[in-house]
Amino acid sequence: MPVILGIESSCDETSAAICADGVMLSNVIANQTIHEAYGGVVPELASRVHQQNIIPAVQQAISNAKVSKNDIDAVAFTRGPGLLGSLLVGVSFAKAFALANNLPLIDINHMQAHVLAHFIGDHKPSFPFLCLTVSGGHTQIVLVKDYFDMEVIGQTQDDAAGEAMDKTSKILGLPYPGGPLIDKYARQGNPNAYQFPEPQIPGYNFSFSGLKTSILYFIQNNVAKNPDFIQENMADICASVEKRIVTILLNKLTKAAQAYGIKDVALAGGVSANTGLRQGLQQLGEKHGWNCFIPKMGYCTDNAAMIAIAGYYKFLQGDFTNQHVAPLARMPF
């Protein structure tokens, strides 16, 4: 029964988790609030806070799992992609912990781990399946043939869906992080109040830069006519923006599912916590007869549980790395 310590530090969450024989015993996430004052993640500050949080997070994960460090069989860590300074903290700690306790190291691709989060718990997709992975920095449709046999068949050519939401929230004057606030206001608004364009991108690829620009001009033009336009119409604006982003994502996913003849369809990544996207996938699933897989909220955003479960499957394959491993800001899928 292999016990895996998972460590995640790719951006602004410091997280540690313990997985025993594929069962998650703990998942500790230390969020960073320091970035709120700057309207986004400041890489240097993020790495400093990771240094403060990494040891308490690991200690708490071990304590919550009711195991000791002597029970751990391997250390899995995020190697990339992510902020280099942040990754360096997690990689360095993992290497030191493994060296001190004579444990093997397992390096994990952060984006693959988001997909493998669906293997936490009992409700698991069957191979092959499609996974729409949506976060602040990535928007991908992944054809998942096996645990580590994945092919990106579609991806954004510029901005990610999460970036479009974050930029919209900034335009609207909402505090960081804006994605959850857009979700909150959208639940109170009319999604058909305003129409935004859907980019016509070939294949299964995405583009959100044009949408972001159209939202900016829409807001500027209406505020010029009515300075209180945003305050008076916040819910309808958020609902309309969210609807367009969701339809862009799900239209491409539907196209891919039909072309590949796949019925098991999943969501992953931070934006998979969005209510409109989750509801939209479920409605499409009912319409097309899909088996839909949506992660629990705790496994949507960056977390070490997904690193630990990915580490567990790599452990079973005997796929280890060594003490010379270095973090990668950009890591091939």
List the chain pLDDT tens, one digit each, 333 residues.
999 999 999 999 999 999 999 999 999 999 888 888 787 889 999 999 999 999 999 999 999 999 999 999 999 999 999 999 999 999 999 999 999 999 999 999 999 999 999 999 888 999 999 999 998 788 999 999 999 999 999 999 998 998 899 999 999 999 888 889 999 999 999 999 999 999 989 999 999 999 999 999 999 999 999 999 999 999 999 999 999 999 999 999 999 999 999 999 999 998 999 999 999 999 999 999 999 999 998 899 999 999 999 999 999 999 999 999 999 999 988
Collapse the DSSP code of 157 into the 3-class scheme (helix H, G, I; strand E, B; otherwise coil) and give the result: coil
What tokens does 236 get?
Answer: 């309808």
Question: 314 vs 71, 113, 294, 310, CA distance in Å?
Answer: 18, 11, 23, 6
> What pLDDT is attached to residue 137?
83
Q: For residues 178 and 155, what is the distance between their CA atoms, to the nearest angstrom?
A: 23
Q: How far apart are CA 241 and CA 214, in angstroms?
A: 10
List, in order, residues 6 or more apart from 99 with CB less than 8 Å away: 323
The pLDDT value recorded for residue 40 is 80
Alpha-carbon gap, residue 163 to 182, rounded angstroms: 13
In angstroms, how far is CA 176 from the centroid of its own chain? 17
Helix 84-100 crosses helix 43-65 at what angle (to 10 degrees)?
40
The span from the CA of 134 to the CA of 111, in Å, is: 10
Write the single-letter amino acid at 278: R
- The pLDDT, as a whole number, for residue 41 is 87
Q: Measured between alpha carbons, how far is 62 from 72 in angstroms, rounded to an integer? A: 9
